[in-house]
Every structure is written in C-alpha cells, then in structure tokens.
Homo-oligomer: A and B are copies of this chain.
Amino acid sequence: MMDAQVSFLDQLFAKGVLHDSGVDGLYARSGEFEDVIARFEKFALTYGQDEISEAMVFPPGMTMQDFETSGYMKNFPQLAGTVHAFCGNDHDHMGLLQCMAAGDDWSKDQKPTQVALTPAACYPLYPILSRRGALPAEGAYVALQSYCFRHEPSKDPARMQMFRQREYVRVGSAEQTMDFRETWKQRGSDMMERLQLPHNVDVANDPFFGRAGKIMASGQREQELKFEMLVPITSEEKPTACMSFNYHMDNFGKAWNIRQADGTPAHTACVGFGLERLALALFRHHGFDTSKWPEGVRATLWG
C-alpha cells in the first residue's frame, strides 16, 4: 500500500497537480486542482439547497476556549495543532536571533496564543449557535466550509496535514438529525454515481487516542454513530474516507449548551466532504487531464 501512495504522490508532483514543500502532507495546489474543488463544491450545493438555513465559511483557526470545550484534546490529542507566538521585547528578540543563527530550537520559547487550528469544520459553528439562545422548532441547517489541521505527516496524498472540509450540519431534535443523516447517505451515493467513482458506505470510527480510545472507538461502531463513503485512491484494500456521515447525539448540544425550542439539549449531525480527497479520487480514476474526464463527469462538474 505504501508504494502505491508514494507512486501516486510522485505522479501528482510530476504532473504539477500538487507541489512538494519538503514536509509530508503540506502541498501547494495547482490552479486546475483548485478548479476541481470549486466545481465539486458548487455541485454539492445543488443538493438540498432549499433546506439550508444559513451558510458560513470559517478561518483555519478557532478560539482556544472553544477548542477546549470541544473535548478534542481528550479524544484526539495527537492530531491537534495550537498556535504559538513570540511575545518578547527587543532584548528577547536578540536572544531569539542568536538561537536561530546557532541552529538551535527557537520555537520552544514561543508562547501560546488564543488560537488553535480547527480540527473539524463544524466545531466553530456550535459556540455561535449557542450564543443565539434556544433554536426555532425547525432547528438549524448550516452549509459551511473550513480548512482543518491534523498533525499526521504521511506519504499518502489523501492524508494531508492541512485540508478543507465542506459540511452540512443539522441541529435540532433526534429525529431531525437522524433523518438528515439518512438523507445524506443516499445523496452521497448519488453524488458518487454521477462522478463515476467506485464507492461504498460503511460504519466507521474516529481515531481515538490511546488505550481508552479503543473502547471509545468500539462504542462508536456499535452505536453506528459514524459512516464513511469509501473510495479507493491509493489502495483497493484500504479505501479512503471521502465523505463522513456523523450523528453526535446530544453530546455537542450539552458541551456547548445548545437548546431545542423545548429547552432540552439539541442533537447534532453532520455530513462532511473531504474536498482534497474527492479531488484526488477524481484525478486517480479519471486521469490527470481534466479535459479528458468521462463525458458524464464533465457534464456534472462543468455543467
């Protein structure tokens, strides 16, 4: 599997679809790669357009306080990134430059800021909803997009450290959120058909950390809280999750104090599209020249 990953990554570099930076998982994107992502986003937004109550786009960071509330450091500490900065005076700056000149590690003296990199696109939404008070009876249905960071350097081009997720998030009753997730599992398969990508939906778990994490992961699977849309990119045996369909029960409603109209904690569900992964799947299956992609795929994306 490793070889197929390296080989696909090398091809992406050779064709100029991505540009190497020297750090695994950190790549410049070509104009053509970005065009495919923009077209996929437009295509995704044709589904359920009249259901969306609001659209938002987030910057790549969220507040440290909201990041702490999310519980991410409990479950996935190994993947998170926090932002640190120099907070010294002229004298400290001289020391810093001497440290750099000597080739020593200067970054250990950086101080924490109030910013953490966003690990999942929907996290910054919940505190915003929380501040608005109880939801209306119809709940909320938000279309959003964000860059996300995960500290997992890899030669697999489908596992970047910085990547974008487009998401739909449903917030409301248990019934509203579970209906939403079922609808999107079907829409996701329809989208994959139209993009002519091999796919299947399967139950899944998040990469919970450590020994306790094994129990969390199996609980998540047993309760079928997470499904993934799997597409082979660098491996047939271990296909890549290009979409995920998640039901959080009322965990986020409780963590952020988001209330339904009747005052009980809101349930939440989200469908996430891994934009770089979907673009990579398209390049992998339809070739490096987008003008030669199958007619049906071109009609879907170029309209």
Comparing A57-65, A171-179, A185-193, A258-266, the segment that makes contact with chain B is A57-65
Distance of A20 Cα from B60 Cα, bound (Å): 15
Most buried by B among A56, A84, A124, A153: A84
* A112 sits at the interface (CB 8 A): yes
Q: Bound state CA distance, A114 and B56, in angstroms?
A: 30
Contact with B along A35-61 (1 / 0, CB 8 A): 000000000000000000011111111
Tell whether A217 is near chain B: CB-to-CB under 8 Å.
no
> B128, A110: Cβ atoms under 8 Å?
no
Is A106 in contact with chain B by the CB < 8 A criterion?
yes
Question: Is the Cβ of B115 less than 8 Å from the Cβ of A161?
Answer: yes
Whether A84 lies near B100 (C-beta < 8 A) is no
| B60 touching A73, Cβ below 8 Å | no
Most B C-beta atoms less than 10 A away, residue of A64, A96, A107, A160: A107
CB distance B93 to A85 under 8 Å? no
A162 at the interface (CB under 8 A from B): yes
User: Which of B19, B65, B100, B151 is close to A56, meaning CB atoms less than 8 Å apart?
Assistant: B19
Asked whether A93 and B77 contact (CB < 8 A) given A59-B26, A63-B21, A83-B117, the answer is: yes
Does A283 interact with chain B (Cβ within 8 Å)?
A: no
Classify chain A: how many residues form its interface, as a range.
35 or more
A211 proximity list for chain B (CB < 8 A): 90
Residue of B nearest to A212 (CB): B90
**Cβ-defined contact, A90 with B210, below 8 A:** yes
Please classify the interface of chain A as helix (H, G, I), strand (E, B), loop, or mixed, using the class held by over half of its residues.
mixed
* Cβ contact within 8 Å between A22 and B55: no
A161 to B61 CA separation, bound complex (whole angstroms): 9
Complex partner residue of A64 from B54, B57, B65, B107, CB under 8 angstroms:
B107
Q: Which residues of B contact A147 (CB under 8 A)?
A: 59-60, 147
Known: A54-B31, A105-B112, A115-B81. A100 touches B22 (CB 8 A): no
Chain B residues lying within 8 Å of A84, measured Cβ to Cβ, are 81-84, 107, 110, 112
Q: Which of A23, A62, A78, A211 has the most CB of B within 10 A?
A: A23
Q: Is the C-beta of A113 less than 8 angstroms from some C-beta in chain B?
A: yes
Which of A81, A111, A160 has the most C-beta atoms of chain B within 10 angstroms of its own C-beta? A81
Is A143 a contact of B210 with CB atoms below 8 Å?
no
Question: Whole-angstrom distance between the alpha carbons of A149 and B89 in the complex?
Answer: 20
Picked from B19, B57, B85, B124, the residue with its CB within 8 Å of the CB of A82 is: B85
Q: Can you sample 5 A-B contacts with CB below 8 Å?
A: A26-B62, A33-B57, A73-B86, A105-B112, A108-B111
A residues contacting B by CB (< 8 A) are 19-23, 26-31, 33-34, 54-66, 68, 73-74, 77-90, 93, 96-97, 100, 105-108, 110-115, 117, 124-125, 127-128, 131, 143, 147, 149, 151, 153, 160-163, 209-211
List 7 other contacts, CB 8 Å, given A22-B63, A83-B84: A29-B57, A59-B162, A73-B86, A73-B96, A80-B86, A82-B85, A84-B107
